[in-house]
Amino acid sequence: EYKDAVNYDSVLKRTAEYGNKYMKDCPILSIVLQLLFEGIDDTCMDETNAFNNLWCAITNNGLKSIENFSDNKKRSVLFQALREYYCPKLFELLNKSKISDKDNLYESALNNVAEYGWLQGLQEVEKRIIVKHFKILLANIPVSGDTSRKQVQPKVEAPTSVNEQSCMFGKDTQISWKFSGIWKLRVTWFFNDQPLSTDNRLEVTETDDGTSILTIRQVELGDQGVYTTRATNAFGVAEAQTTLKIDCIKPVINANLNSALEVTKGETMGLKIVASGTPKPDIVWMKDDNELTPNDRIQVTIPNGNDDKYTMAILNAQPGDQGEYSAKISNVGGSLQSNKCKVTVSKSPVFIVKLTTQKVKQGTTAVFVTKIDGYPTPTITWLLNEKPLTAKEGVHVQFDATNGEVKLSIQNVVLEQHAVILNIPADARWAQKGVTVAGGHGQGSATNQLDWPCGLFVDDDQTMAIADGDNHRIIQWKKGDTNGQVVAGGNGKENRLDQLNGPTDVLIDKETDSLIICDPGNRRVVRWSRRSGTTQGEILTNNIHCRGLAMDDQRYLYISDDEKHEVRRYQIGDKNGTLVAGGNGKGASLDQLNYPTYIFVDQQQTVYVSDSLNHRVMKWNKGAKEGIVVAGGQGQGNALTQLSYPYGLFVDTLGTIYVAVSWNNRVMRWPKAAKQGTVIVGGNGQGEGANQFNRLEALSFDRHGNLYVVDYGNYRVQRFSIE
């Protein structure tokens, strides 16, 4: 038996030697013998590293690893040999690692290990093993040759794990690191030692070869710093670092400020600089070396995209805006100062409110007010018959330079003195955005609210009396107040003398210091004293469905009746009145009206009527039997020749008509004898913007020429300042 054993060993050794010598392209045979018979010393394989590399690979990574060494197709012999090789080692490993149910696990584990090697083969059965025991199992895996556990830990596939790179501000860049290691690696990114949050601008992607890529779009200054990439698996951690530097271009001014600029008072002053740099420079505008803070009047723009223009606009330039202007341009690359621009403000004298001839009674006091603008402050000279008016007793001139108001007061007027009255210039313009001076806090009955307001009267001191329809009250709003004061009604919708029912119009009778009110729901016109303590009104006339009111210089009261389609004139206390317009039934003829609303009476007792359902304004001269169409009358529409439900009405001394066109949401001006009008405010669609309306009702002007409009559906009164 001993002899046979020696011979057997010798035969195997020679078989291995000659197998290598005569099959140089297939060292697999020697490996099979080594696996089956551990006693063989195949010394012939020591001549090269081929055997050692193949042996380490196949005994650690299984049958699959031979693909890098041989294309031998007879895998079954080697697979069986590998099973024989791994069999005792696997059994010992399972026992040593205290794996439960190892008998059922053994066979499938052996096949996997023989096919894929220790790590991948055991990974195939990982789900059948308790987690903590599986970690023990991995720790006990035997290795052969020069293979070590370090080969399964994560590794940076680069000559060095630290580098630097730079990127221009605003451009895109990428940072990438490639890692290797057993099993899928968990790769995380850190920025300045803090976990990196990704979004649409910062995105992390991975490729199949283990490369992790961080894409940074439109790089910002805050992206500068150290980026750490960390790869982990069950066996260890590998890190790589990239320091990112952001490159900048310091500012350059390509077009500087002019050295001087003249600006007209009240106009917009504009300054512009063209400058470039990366990142796009910031700008600070200065006046007399003091930094300016942007606000509603000082408006600053900065360039977008490829634009390099920086602008500053000062709206409504005033003398206080004169000075030396400059700008400081800066970014992280540096800063520089612009030229200085000397700005001067001036304006030739101009009348904002012009004067016209006025009749006054001899022996009374006449007070005339106009308004001027100009800079430097104009010198004021009053003329009488083209000659300077000499100062004497009873003649007083006042000039308020802050608002340009000029007042002439003449006491005990005599025949040879001439006087003037307010007139709105034919070319007057108004601000296009209104300011809310009453209501504007939604529909309601609080004293800062209105509910379907209608008529409006503006007193000399800009106090407003408003017919607050669905609140059944007259509410008074003084200039600058945030809340109104109920001065009539407000006690419910009934017919007692302390109540109103849907009032539609109101005027102030200065001689009696009282309010005259249209109370159509009670079919009456009433008067309420403005004196404190008044709790109820008195009936002036009844059995009338009043819609609008007016009073002439002789204190005749004019009332429109939208049921009888007529306008009548009354002396105070008169119950019947005199027909002055319409009264021939509902219709569109020149002697008829169709739902007359607001009215206006001039000094010649000419009556102007908003003939709303005929979409026209009618003029009835005193004593006339029929009217004249002075605005609209071309059917309902929004052309400049048309009106759509005209309501509020005002006529100045030049015969220019101002009318609130309700359904067109605009106020129009029709000069005397004009065939079409022009829009002075509104006309921007229905809405609640400062330049919009939601159905108009009444309108009025104060003595300065400012326009007041009742914005019915927005429950507010808007004031448009004259420019």
Q: Which of 177-186, 325-334, 616-625 has the lowest mean pLDDT?
A: 177-186
Token digits for 3? 């002899």
For residues 682-693, give the mean pLDDT: 97
Residue 683: strand, helix, or coil: coil
In a domain, 137, yes or no: yes
The answer to whether residues 471 and 500 touch, using CB atoms and an 8 Å cutoff, is: no
What burial letters (b/e) apply to 513-528, b meaning 16+ CB within 10 Å? Answer: ebbbbbbbbbbbbbbb
Token digits for 225? 């710093």
CA distance 472 to 529: 17
Start-to-end CA distance of the chain, whole Å, equals 129
List residues bridging with 213 in a β-sheet.
176, 205
Residue 584: strand, helix, or coil: coil
- The domain boundary, picked from 147, 182, 202, lies at 147
Q: Do residues 645 and 681 both lie within one domain?
A: yes
Q: Do residues 325 and 414 both lie within one domain?
A: no
Residue 278: strand, helix, or coil: strand
Under DSSP, the state recorded for 619 is E
- The domain boundary, picked from 147, 166, 184, lies at 147
Q: Find where tokens 């503006």 sit.
A: 458
Number of domains the chain is built from:
5
Q: CA triplet 682, 685, 688: central angle to 5 degrees?
A: 80
Q: Do residues 499 and 602 both lie within one domain?
A: yes
Q: Residue 548 — φ and ψ, nearest 5°?
A: -145, 160
- The domain boundary, picked from 321, 344, 367, lies at 344
Query: Is pLDDT of 73 > 60?
Result: no
CA distance 709 to 393: 41
In a domain, 409, yes or no: yes
Query: Is pLDDT of 415 > 50?
Result: no
Token digits for 619? 């003029």
Q: Do residues 486 and 625 both lie within one domain?
A: yes
Q: Identify the band that residue 57 occupies on the pLDDT scale cut at 50, 70 and 90.
A: low
Under DSSP, the state recorded for 111 is H
Q: E strands, 46-172, where?
A: 155-156, 162-168
Q: Nearest-CA neighbor of 680 among 704, 661, 697, 702?
A: 661
% of the chain with per-residue pLDDT over 70: 83
Q: Do residues 214 and 168 both lie within one domain?
A: yes
Q: Do residues 169 and 92 both lie within one domain?
A: no
CA distance 478 to 438: 9
In a domain, 213, yes or no: yes
Note the pLDDT of residue 36.
61
Cβ contacts of 266 within 8 Å, gap of 6 or more: 316, 317, 318, 347, 373, 723
In a domain, 441, yes or no: no
In a domain, 442, yes or no: no
Cβ contacts of 673 within 8 Å, gap of 6 or more: none
Q: Identify the band that residue 389 occupies on the pLDDT scale cut at 50, 70 and 90.
A: confident
Q: Nearest-CA neighbor of 34 among 21, 44, 47?
A: 44
In a domain, 435, yes or no: no
The larger pLDDT score, comparing residue 411 to residue 77, is at: 411
For residues 351-375, give the mean pLDDT: 77
Q: Residue 596 — φ and ψ, nearest 5°?
A: -70, 140
Q: Do residues 219 and 304 both lie within one domain?
A: no
Q: Do residues 297 and 231 both lie within one domain?
A: no
Query: Is pLDDT of 315 > 50?
Result: yes
Q: Do residues 651 and 514 both lie within one domain?
A: yes
CA distance 570 to 377: 48
The larger pLDDT score, comparing residue 443 to residue 54, is at: 443
Query: Is pLDDT of 37 > 60?
Result: no
Query: Is pLDDT of 624 > 90?
Result: yes
Q: Do residues 501 and 545 both lie within one domain?
A: yes
In terms of residue numbers, what domain contains 267?
A: 250-344
Cβ contacts of 313 within 8 Å, gap of 6 or more: 268, 269, 270, 271, 298, 299, 300, 301
358: domain CATH number?
A: 2.60.40.10
In a domain, 723, yes or no: no
521: domain CATH number?
A: 2.120.10.30
Query: Is pLDDT of 413 > 90?
Result: no
Q: Do residues 294 and 385 both lie within one domain?
A: no
Query: Is pLDDT of 157 > 80?
Result: yes
The answer to whether residues 363 and 413 touch, using CB atoms and an 8 Å cutoff, is: yes
CA distance 416 to 385: 9
The answer to whether residues 466 and 518 touch, using CB atoms and an 8 Å cutoff, is: no
Q: Nearest-CA neighbor of 269 among 206, 213, 327, 314?
A: 314
Q: Do residues 282 and 384 both lie within one domain?
A: no
For residues 9-15, give the mean pLDDT: 59
- Tell me the pLDDT of the chain averaged across its residues: 85
Q: Is the pTM of this model over 0.75?
A: no
